[in-house]
Amino acid sequence: MRWPSSLNSGAFRFALLIAGMFALGSIVLLAVVEHSIRTYAAEASAVGLRSEMAVLTEDWPDGGYGEVIDTIKHRERSTYEQPFHYLLLDASGRRLAGDLPKESARAGWGSVRFVDDHPRQGKQAEPEILQSLGRRLADGSLLVVATDTFDVQQLRHRLAAFTIGSSVAITLFALVGGYFVGLIFLRRLERVNAAVVQIMSGNLSERLPTIGMSPEFDHLSRNLNQMLDRIAALMEGMRQVSTDIAHDLMTPLTRLQQHLETMRGSASVTVYDAAIEAALAQIDEIHVIFRALLRIGLIESGEREQPLAQIDLSELVARLAEAYRPSVEDAGKLFRANIEPGIQANGDAELLAQLFANLIENALRHTPEGTEITVSLHQDADRPVVTVADNGPGVAADQREKILTRFYRIDASRHTPGAGLGLALVAAIAALHHATLSIEDNEPGLRVRLVFGEPASE
Find the range with the poorest average confidence among 24-28, 114-118, 279-283, 392-396. 114-118
By the 8 A CB rule, do 133 and 50 touch?
Answer: yes
Residue 55 lies in a domain: no
pLDDT value of position 411? 46
User: What is the mean pLDDT of the segment spanning 125-145?
Assistant: 81
Domain that holds residue 336: 309-451
pLDDT value of position 114? 78
Would you list the DSSP string of 341-398?
Answer: TT-EEEE-HHHHHHHHHHHHHHHHHSS-TT-EEEEEEEEETTEEEEEEEE-SS---GG
Q: Is the pLDDT of residue 267 over 50?
A: yes
One domain, residues 321 and 444: yes
Residue 296 lies in a domain: yes
pLDDT value of position 359? 87
What are the C-alpha distances in Å from 187 to residues 62, 196, 220, 392, 417? 88, 15, 18, 62, 59
> Where is mean pLDDT largest: 67-81, 207-221, 327-341?
327-341
pLDDT value of position 385? 92
Q: Which of 301, 326, 348 is the last residue before a domain boundary?
A: 301
Task: Kindly report whether the peptide bond that precedes residue 368 is cis, defined as omega within 30 degrees of 0.
Answer: no
Q: Which of 262, 278, 301 is the last residue before a domain boundary?
A: 301
One domain, residues 417 and 335: yes
pLDDT value of position 441? 83
Is 193 exposed, middle or buried, given 0-12, 13-18 or 19+ CB atoms closer than 10 A? exposed
Find the range with the poorest average confidence among 65-74, 194-203, 395-404. 395-404
Residue 132 lies in a domain: no
Residue 82 lies in a domain: no
| Segment holding 21, helix H or strand E | helix 10-58
One domain, residues 441 and 313: yes
Segments of 119-194 assigned E as strands: 128-136, 142-147
Residue 152 lies in a domain: no
Q: Is the pLDDT of residue 304 over 60?
A: no
One domain, residues 254 and 342: no
Residue 373 lies in a domain: yes
Report the candidate in 129, 407, 126, 396 with the shortest Cα–Cα distance to residue 250.
407
Q: Is the pLDDT of residue 48 over 70?
A: yes
One domain, residues 442 and 335: yes
One domain, residues 274 and 317: no
User: What is the mean pLDDT of the segment spanning 105-111?
Assistant: 86
Residue 334 lies in a domain: yes
Report how far residue 381's alpha carbon sits from residue 369's, in angstroms, rounded to the nearest whole number. Answer: 36
By the 8 A CB rule, do 354 and 422 touch?
Answer: no
CATH of the domain at 236: 1.10.287.130
User: What is the mean pLDDT of the segment spanning 103-120?
Assistant: 77
Which amino acid is present at 159? L
One domain, residues 266 and 240: yes
> Residue 248: which pLDDT band, with cuts at 50, 70 and 90?
low
Q: What mean pLDDT value characterizes the chain?
A: 76
User: What is the mean pLDDT of the segment spanning 89-96?
Assistant: 85
Report how far residue 174's alpha carbon sits from residue 351's, in angstroms, rounded to the nearest whole number. Answer: 62
Q: Which of 281, 301, 321 is the last residue before a domain boundary?
A: 301
One domain, residues 291 and 313: no
The three-state secondary structure class of 221 is helix
Helices (H) and strands (E) in the chain, counts: 8, 12
**Prediction pTM value:** 0.45
User: What is the mean pLDDT of the segment spanning 272-277?
Assistant: 74
> Residue 445: which pLDDT band, with cuts at 50, 70 and 90?
confident
Kindly report, residue by residue over 4-21, the tens digit of the pLDDT: 455 666 666 766 777 777
One domain, residues 254 and 278: yes
Q: Is the pLDDT of residue 34 over 60?
A: yes
Residues in a beta bridge with 28? none
Report how far residue 358's alpha carbon sits from residue 113's, in angstroms, rounded to the nearest whole number. Answer: 108
Q: What DSSP designation does 151 have?
A: H
> Residue 245: which pLDDT band, with cuts at 50, 70 and 90?
low
Cα 452 versus chain centre, distance: 31
Residue 420 lies in a domain: yes
The three-state secondary structure class of 139 is coil
Which region, left, alpha or beta, applies to residue 155 given φ > 0 means left and ψ of -120 to 50 means alpha?
A: alpha
Which region, left, alpha or beta, applies to residue 122 given φ > 0 means left and ψ of -120 to 50 means alpha?
A: left
One domain, residues 237 and 359: no
| Segment holding 110, helix H or strand E | strand 108-114
Q: Is the pLDDT of residue 270 over 80?
A: no
The three-state secondary structure class of 432 is helix
Report how far residue 35's alpha carbon sits from residue 29's, in angstroms, rounded to the nearest whole number. Answer: 10
One domain, residues 354 and 442: yes
Q: Is the pLDDT of residue 458 over 50?
A: no
Q: Is the pLDDT of residue 238 over 60?
A: yes
Q: Is the pLDDT of residue 61 over 60?
A: no
Residues in a beta bridge with 147? 84, 131
Helices (H), 203-305: 215-264, 269-301
Rounded (10°) CA dihedral 399, 405, 409, 410: 0
Count of domains forming the chain: 2
Q: Is the pLDDT of residue 447 over 80?
A: yes
Q: Is the pLDDT of residue 327 over 80?
A: yes
One domain, residues 278 and 321: no
CATH of the domain at 444: 3.30.565.10
pLDDT value of position 311? 86
Q: Is the pLDDT of residue 407 over 70?
A: no
> Where is mean pLDDT largest: 167-176, 333-342, 350-359?
333-342
